[in-house]
Amino acid sequence: MKTTVGSLRIVVLGARKVGKSAITVRYLTKRYIGEYSSGSDFEYTTVVNIGDEPVKLEILDTSDSQDGLTESTLRRYQADAFIVVYSIADDSATVTVQSELEKIHRGRQTQRSAVIILGNKLDLEHFRQVEADDIRPLAQKYQCRHVEISAAEDFSSVCSVFEGLLSEAFEAQKQRSKNVKRRRSILGNMSRKLGNMFKRKSLEDLLLKRRLSPSRQSARRSL
């Protein structure tokens, strides 16, 4: 049995009743449940295969968005990947999405996280209030992808969103690991070179002292 080779954390963000929990549960179980009434964050843990490598996955399904980056909400914005969900039938979606993207930008650590803007409820096209063109400038500004889906009608699209995001986050994580190892190798080589240089310098100083010591000069004069 293969052991996991790493771990990834995805945070699902968005306003109330946009389908965050429905999307998360749909991906994890293939089941669609339309109504959720929880006011608390839920964290799910599972193991997924990315390529041939098993990876521990944590998904934080957040409750309705909170203003600001308080200590209690800061952890939301420290993850390997983010899904910012909105409803295409919500006329305030653009404002909410921009707010969440800005919080991610301010709250995440120095490494760049994988982010996708996910328009949900495509099955409610006849109630559409937000066009793709309304969201596209935000995707360009924050350098992330934008996709529209229906969690109610299309499991494959939900699965593709998660799989694509996980692959992007996992590759970024491996690249960061390589960069850390490379920096450590460079620092180690520099340290060894400096150590050898100081050793040679110390040996040269010792030989010079021995050549110039009074006892050796006296011995030379007596000869």
Cβ atoms within 10 Å of 32's Cβ, excluding its own: 17
Based on the structure, what is the number of domains in the chain? 1
Over residues 147-158, the mean pLDDT reads 96
* Residue 92, domain member (yes or no): yes
The torsion of the CA quartet 121, 125, 129, 135, rounded to 10 degrees, works out to 70
* Higher-pLDDT residue of 76, 79: 79
Buried b (16+ CB within 10 A) or exposed e, 125-140: eeebebeeeebeebbe
Would you state the pLDDT for residue 223? 45
The string of DSSP letters for 140-182 reads HHTT-EEEE--TTT-HHHHHHHHHHHHHHHHHHHHHHHHHHHH
* Residue 29, domain member (yes or no): yes
Q: Are 88 and 133 in contact (CB under 8 A)?
A: no
* Residue 91, domain member (yes or no): yes
Would you state the pLDDT for residue 199? 64
Quick check: 33 pLDDT over 50? Answer: yes
* Residue 98, domain member (yes or no): yes
Report the first-to-last Cα separation within the chain, whole angstroms: 81
CATH number (domain holding residue 107): 3.40.50.300
Q: Which pLDDT tens digit goes with each residue over 84-105?
A: 999 999 999 999 999 999 988 8
Would you state the pLDDT for residue 51? 86
Would you state the pLDDT for residue 68? 53
* Residue 37, domain member (yes or no): yes
Q: Are 91 and 19 in contact (CB under 8 A)?
A: no
Alpha helices in the chain (DSSP H): 20-29, 71-74, 93-107, 132-141, 155-212, 214-222
Would you state the pLDDT for residue 113? 85
Over residues 159-170, the mean pLDDT reads 95
Instruction: Look up the domain containing 92 and give its range.
Output: 7-177
Rounded CA gap, 73 and 62, in Å? 10
Quick check: 162 pLDDT over 90? Answer: yes
* Residue 215, domain member (yes or no): no
Over residues 127-146, the mean pLDDT reads 96
Rounded CA gap, 32 and 158, in Å? 11
Quick check: 142 pLDDT over 90? Answer: yes
Would you state the pLDDT for residue 77? 82
* Residue 105, domain member (yes or no): yes
Q: Which pLDDT tens digit goes with each residue over 173-210?
A: 888 766 555 556 566 666 666 666 666 666 666 666 66
* Higher-pLDDT residue of 42, 202: 42
Structure tokens at 141: 């500004």
Would you state the pLDDT for residue 61? 93
* Residue 206, domain member (yes or no): no
Would you state the pLDDT for residue 88? 98
Q: Are 147 and 120 in contact (CB under 8 A)?
A: no
Which residue, among 2, 6, 3, 57, has the nearest Cα to 176 in the 3D structure? 6
Q: Are 170 and 6 in contact (CB under 8 A)?
A: yes
